[in-house]
Amino acid sequence: MYRYDEFDAAYVKNRVKNFREQVNRRIDGSLTEDEFKPLRLMNGLYLQLHAYMLRVAIPYGTLNSRQMRTLAMIATKYDKGYGHLTTRQNIQYNWPALKDVPDILDDLADVEMHAIQTSGNCIRNVTADHFAGAAADEIEDPRPTAEIVRQWSTEHPEFLYLPRKFKVAVTGSPNDRAVTKAHDIGLRMLRNNAGEPGYEVIVGGGLGRSPFVGKVVRDFLPKADLLPYLEAILRVYNLQGRRDNKYKARIKILVHETGTDELRAMIEEEFAKMDGPSIALDPSEIERIENYFAPPQFSDLPAESVALSAAKAADAEFATWVDVNTDAHKQSGYTIVTVSAKAIGEAPGDLTTAQMNVIADLAEQYSHDELRISHEQNAILPHVKLDDLPAVHAALVEAGLATANANLISDIIACPGLDYCALATARSIPVAQDIQRRFSDPVRAKAIGEFKIKISGCINACGHHHVGHVGILGLEKAGIENYQITLGGDHTETTAIGDRAGPGFSFEQVGPAIERLVDAYISLRADESERFIDTYRRLGLEPFKAALYNEEKEAA
C-alpha cells in the first residue's frame, strides 16, 4: 500500500500545525465562526447534535494494522471507546473536544493518516472498490488512480470553494462495488480495443434530494489524460454550478439542467485548452505510486483447502459464515473476508476499541497486514488463506465480529441519523436495530438471500437509501418521525433509483412493514436463487406495495 514520501509527511504534519493555529485564531476571535466553519470542515471537523464529530479519511478504504491500532487508540484516548464506519470509507468519532482535535490529527499524521477534505465544499476523500487488489474479477487495481486523485485534489487551490461537495469513486472491476454511478465523478477502469488502459468517465450521479444516475461523458479516457480531464470537469463545475440554492448546487443538477451533450462539449472544450503535461503527473511518479500497490507475496496454494473443508464439515455455523462472508480472491488458495460490523442489535458500522484492535491483529497475522473499509460499513480482510479461515473465524467470534450476514437482510447500511447528526430529520440506527432483531435467525436470513436495506436519516441520503433494494428515508411529519420506503434500488453497475412505495410509516410501523414485504417476496419468488431485486424487477412495485400497506389484514 501507499507510503508517504517526505513531501506527504511534511505536508500532513504542517497541515496539523496550521489547523492548530486556526483553532487558536477561532478562539482569539481572528476568525469568526462563519469563517472557521469551512476551514474546520476541510479538516474533517463537524459540530453535531451533542458534540463535535471528527471524520477521519481512510483513503480508498485501505489501511494497515498499525493505522487501525491508532484509530483504536484515538477512540479510547480522546473519545468514548468506539468509532463509526461511514458510507464514504471514513471513520467518525462522535465526541472529540475542539481543543483535542489538533492532537488527534497529530497522532493520525504519525501513521500517515489525516482528516483532510472529508467534509466541506471541496473534492472529498476518494473512494474505491473495497475488494481492490484482491477481487477475482478485477481488471486493474483502482487504488493507484485513487491515490493520484487524492494527491491532485488535496488543497487544490482552485477547487476548495466549490458550489457544493464533490465526490469521486473509482472501480477497477466490471462488477461495481464502489457505487460509481452515484458519485459526482465515477471512474471505471477498462481497456480499449487496442488493449490500452483507461477510464470510462461518469459525471453527475448523486443521491440526496434529487437522485440521479451518473451519465457517461467519456467512453474512454486514456490514463495519461486523467488529471487534465478531471481539472476540466471541475473548472466547468466551479464556474457554472449553481450557487443560489444548496439543493441545486451539485454537479448532477448542472448536468441535468444543461444536458449531458452540452456539458460534455463544455468539458471537452476546456480540456482541449488545457496544458495537459503541466497537470498530469510524470510517468515516473505514476510508476512510483503504482509500485506501492504491488500485490503482496502470495504463497502458491491449491484452490481447495483440506483444512477448510474439514472445518466446514465439523461446524455448520462456521460453514455458513464462510459461505456468506467470503468472496473470490484473484490468488488461488486465498479469499476475501468480510468482517461484519453489523452484529444483531448494534449500531451498523460501529466498532469498539477492542474490536478495532482484534481486526488489526488479524490483518497483521493473516492478511498481509492489509485491511479495507467498505462503503457498506464493514471491515475487510483482503488476503486470507483458506487454510486460516477457522482461526480467523474463531477470533472474530470472540470479538463479536463474526455475524454471518454480508449482503443479507441484517447487513444494513444506516447513517448516524438523529441520534448524532445535526442535519437529521429522524433516527436511522434504531430502525436498523429493530430490523436486525426481527431477522436475527441466521437460517432465515440466509434463506431470504441477498437483501440490501439502506437507511438515511434525512434527504441528504448518506445512507444511500435510493440505491437500496429497500430504501428507508427518515423524515419529519407533523412533529414525529416518519419513514418513506423505496423499493428496487440498485447500487451496482446496473444502478437504479428505487421507486417510492407510498405514504410513510411511523417509527414503530417500519419493522412490521419490512416483515410483510419479506414474506411477500418469499411467496412470490420463482425459486430460491431469485433475489429480492430480481423478483421486484420481474413483478414490479404492485405486489410489494400491497404487502407493505396490508396492515389491516395483519391486524385481523
Partner 1 sequence: MPLVTKQGFQPTPEITYVLVEEIGAANQASLAVSVPSDTDAAVLAPHLEKIALIGIDFPSFADGRGFSIALRLRRLGFEGELRARGYLISDQYPHAMACGFDTVEIDDEMAERQPYEQWKAATEKVLPPYRVKRAG
Partner 2 sequence: MAKLFKPKIISANDLLAGDVVYMNSGYGWTRKLAEAAIAHDENAADALLEKAEPQQDKVVGPYLADVALDDDGRPFPTHFREKFRTRGPSNRVDLGKQATNPERREPLAASGGI
CB of 188 to partner 1, least distance (A): 23
**How many chain residues interact with ligand SF4 (CB under 6 A)?**
13
The count of other CB atoms within 10 Å of the CB of residue 494 is 11
457 is a site residue for ligand SF4 (CB under 6 A)? yes
Which of 27, 35, 502, 506 binds partner 1 (CB under 8 A)? It is 35
Which of 1, 2, 22, 431 binds partner 1 (CB under 8 A)? It is 22
Contact 421, 49 (CB under 8 A): yes
User: Which of ligand SF4, partner 2, partner 1, none has residue 18 at its interface (CB below 5 to 8 Å by kind)?
Assistant: partner 1
CB of 56 to ligand SF4, least distance (A): 16
CB of 463 to partner 2, least distance (A): 15
50 is a site residue for partner 2 (CB under 8 A)? yes
Which of 463, 468, 488, 511 binds ligand SF4 (CB under 6 A)? It is 463
Which of 27, 97, 155, 196 binds partner 1 (CB under 8 A)? It is 155
Which of 32, 284, 523, 529 binds partner 2 (CB under 8 A)? It is 32
Contact 199, 171 (CB under 8 A): no
Angle at 128 between CA 245 and CA 406, to 5 degrees: 105
Name the residue nearer to partner 2 (CB basis): 29 or 277. Answer: 29
Name the residue nearer to partner 2 (CB basis): 49 or 281. Answer: 49
The distance in angstroms from the start CA to the end CA of the chain is: 59
How does 26-58 read in b/e, with b if 16+ C-beta sit within 10 Å? beeeebeeeebbebbbbbbbbebeebbbbbbbb
CB of 292 to partner 1, least distance (A): 14
CB of 8 to partner 1, least distance (A): 5
Contact range with ligand SF4 by CB under 6 A, out of 292-300, 313-321, 363-371, 414-422: 414-422
Cell of 15: 497541515
How does 81-119 read in b/e, with b if 16+ C-beta sit within 10 Å? ebbbbbbbbbbbbbbbeeebbbbbbebbbebbbbbbbbb
Helix axes 389-398, 353-366, angle to 10 degrees: 170
Name the residue nearer to ligand SF4 (CB basis): 63 or 424. Answer: 424
- Looking at residue 139, the DSSP 8-state letter turns out to be S
- Looking at residue 54, the DSSP 8-state letter turns out to be E
Q: Which of residues 417-446 bind ligand SF4 (CB under 6 A)?
A: 417, 421, 423-424
Which of 419, 471, 520, 531 binds partner 2 (CB under 8 A)? It is 419
Which of 179, 251, 384, 458 binds ligand SF4 (CB under 6 A)? It is 458
Which of 97, 265, 313, 316 binds partner 2 (CB under 8 A)? It is 97
Helix axes 389-398, 306-314, angle to 10 degrees: 40
Residue 245 Cα to chain centre, angstroms: 26
CA–CA separation, 454 and 513 (whole Å) = 15
CA–CA separation, 243 and 399 (whole Å) = 48
How does 222-261 read in b/e, with b if 16+ C-beta sit within 10 Å? ebbbbbbbbbbbbbbbbeebbeeeeebbbbbbbbbebeee
CB of 369 to partner 1, least distance (A): 24
Residue 18 Cα to chain centre, angstroms: 29
CB of 389 to partner 1, least distance (A): 39
Q: Which of residues 232-261 bind partner 1 (CB under 8 A)?
A: 235, 238-239, 243
Q: Which of residues 486-515 bind partner 2 (CB under 8 A)?
A: 507
CA–CA separation, 532 and 439 (whole Å) = 15
User: Which of ligand SF4, partner 1, partner 2, none has residue 415 at its interface (CB below 5 to 8 Å by kind)?
Assistant: ligand SF4
Name the residue nearer to partner 2 (CB basis): 149 or 429. Answer: 429
CB of 196 to partner 1, least distance (A): 24
Which of 82, 152, 334, 544 binds partner 1 (CB under 8 A)? It is 152
SS3 category, 258: helix
Phi, psi of 401 (to 5 degrees): -120, 15
549 is a site residue for partner 2 (CB under 8 A)? no
Burial of 164 (C-beta count, 10 Å sphere; 0-12/13-18/19+)? buried
Which of 158, 257, 398, 476 binds partner 1 (CB under 8 A)? It is 158
Which of 415, 435, 467, 513 binds ligand SF4 (CB under 6 A)? It is 415
Kindly report the length of the chain. 556
Cell of 34: 462563519
Name the residue nearer to partner 1 (CB basis): 275 or 300. Answer: 275
CA–CA separation, 46 and 120 (whole Å) = 10
160 is a site residue for partner 2 (CB under 8 A)? no
Which of 460, 492, 509, 550 binds ligand SF4 (CB under 6 A)? It is 460
Which residues lie near partner 1 (CB under 8 A)?
5, 7-8, 10-11, 13-15, 18, 21-22, 25, 29-31, 35, 38-39, 121, 151-152, 154-162, 235, 238-239, 243, 273, 275, 278-279, 281-282, 285
Residues in touch with ligand SF4 (CB under 6 A): 415-417, 421, 423-424, 456-458, 460-463
Contacts with partner 2 by CB under 8 A lie at 26-27, 29, 32-33, 47-52, 80, 94-99, 347, 418-420, 424, 427, 429-430, 433, 476, 479-481, 507
